[in-house]
Structure 1
């Protein structure tokens, strides 16, 4: 079974302990914890004791955890997501990501996720790329074995899977540098069908975010409001061998977080059941074709647009 989680950035109006309780009570098996000023702020006093309490709570609730670092105004109250690894003051971002890795280690996190950021207008593309590679290398060194999941993000310097591959090569293809894949981004920004994207990157996955989306529009939507056919996507995830968390990413739905989280899990469980049935049907179809001497004519089982 797929291990579904929910992102705390979709519980922005809840205290962290309350959000964790609700997420566990609904039946999720993990949480994508976005470090923010109100959710385990890495710059507030008493960090060690607060991390220990969260670790105890996660164990009690039986929740796995990944660390997300996309807080909007944690580092600069006037600039969204700034500074990034591309900015002149990027050392602040490196420090934050290093703290996130240390917190992840203390929580037993399965991965720490981050992205490149948008290239500032005054920074030439070549310099932005060099800064990104250098910054990622520094974060890798600070992570000390905590898996890093780099996320291609629409509108940022690295916005596609191809861009992630290029960055990984520039870093020397280190073992600790994995991929965070947002399923919605695949529909929004990638040329290939979503299940094909999942299959292609299966060996590199350390973190998966899931949401619905439409082609060319970077808007995280509830399931069923976008264009993704989810059973084939979940089938591809299961077949890829990925066993990490698949966490719902709905950062603009905090106003109705408990209801949205409940609907989301019901949808995903239903889609997972359909994906399993679809896989059985495919196996049977291949066998029938094989008995007739035409096993190469496997029917299309995606079931719709991705």
Structure 2
């Protein structure tokens, strides 16, 4: 996708009234300072931001985290932006291992480090007034039996779910292609293993649904609706885990947005383009235009009814 340079002329209009609220992920704006990224999104008219905790954007390991979190909370309030906290930073714990150590790490100390990061993220999310804190399982280490991997995951996530319950911030686990927890079915397996805690919810990535779920992305939204706590959105192709700008993949978005609009989900739907920071400002503008154009036209009806939507 290409377009004109982004120009700022004060805060733009927010997304059209209705239940779908759009955000943009800071992992797709890593070439911008956080304050500049937040101002950009407010100017464009986004409803919120998916804030990835990382060294360039609210470092969860830096001294003075509480004071910086309070400052960011004030800035979000000034700009009228909602927020969800994301924890998918590639090298925040280990500068040489992408997403390492994970909740599945063979080393108990490594797993504990990831648990500590997630508990910190829950606290940050509570202080920001975030609607959820996101996480994922990680890739099963080589030579690890599936039963062992699931035992590690459930044992690691239990204290995080407890912290989320105490803080009043839902924990939203994301099925990620290639990870132990890769599908909606895997999420339900985890939910059962943990005893279905009320603090445990789901991050649904619409592109991941296109990539590997048996149901269509719109059907995935309807199937996942009771557990939805966070939504990520981008284009993607079947069988290829590559986050693409809208229009570059295969997803039919109007039915997806209609399903979200009638699902009862009240959180942000966050554009997730983590490998496109080089064009982040332009893509943020183009993405919001695309999503607004794909929103349902006319009155909405409850899930399961016959709603008409405008095709983009």
Q: Which moved more, 1:87-96 or 1:122-131?
A: 122-131
1:69 to 87, 92, 105: 87
Partner of 2:46: 28
Query: CA separation of 1:278/1:185 partners in 2, compared to 1, >3 Å: closer, same or farther?
Result: farther
2-structure distance, mates of 1:50, 1:61:
17
How far off its partner does 1:122 sit? Answer: 3.1
Partner of 2:56: 38
SS across alignment from 1:24: helix
C-alpha contact 1:222 1:250 (8 A) present in aligned 2: yes
Q: Deviations over 1:82-141 (max 9, x none)?
A: 011000221000000000000001001100000000000032211111000011101112
How far off its partner does 1:276 sit? Answer: 2.4
Query: Within 5 Å, which residues of 2 pair with 1:233-248?
Result: 233-248=256-271
Partner of 1:292: none
Q: Deviations over 1:32-51 (max 9, x none)?
A: 00000111001111111111
Partner of 2:176: 153
2:292 to 240, 245, 269: 269
How far off its partner does 1:52 sit? Answer: 0.7
Query: Within 5 Å, which residues of 2 pair with 1:243-258?
Result: 243-258=266-281
2-structure distance, mates of 1:253, 1:42:
23
Query: CA separation of 1:236/1:138 partners in 2, compared to 1, >3 Å: closer, same or farther?
Result: same
How far off its partner does 1:301 sit? Answer: 8.1
Question: TM-score, with normalisation over the residues of structure 1?
Answer: 0.90
1-structure distance, mates of 2:308, 2:285:
32
1-structure distance, mates of 2:37, 2:307:
43
Query: Within 5 Å, which residues of 2 pair with 1:106-145?
Result: 106-143=127-164, 144=166, 145=168
Question: TM-score, with normalisation over the residues of structure 2?
Answer: 0.88
* Structure number with higher helix proportion: 1
Partner of 1:84: 102
Larger Rg belongs to? 1
Q: What is the CA RMSD across the aligned residues, in angstroms?
A: 2.0
SS across alignment from 1:276: coil
Query: Within 5 Å, which residues of 2 pair with 1:52-67?
Result: 52-67=70-85
Matched, 1:223 2:259: no
2-structure distance, mates of 1:156, 1:216:
15
Partner of 1:199: 222
SS across alignment from 1:131: helix
1-structure distance, mates of 2:45, 2:53:
22
SS across alignment from 1:240: coil
1:186 to 190, 196, 209: 209
How far off its partner does 1:302 sit? Answer: 10
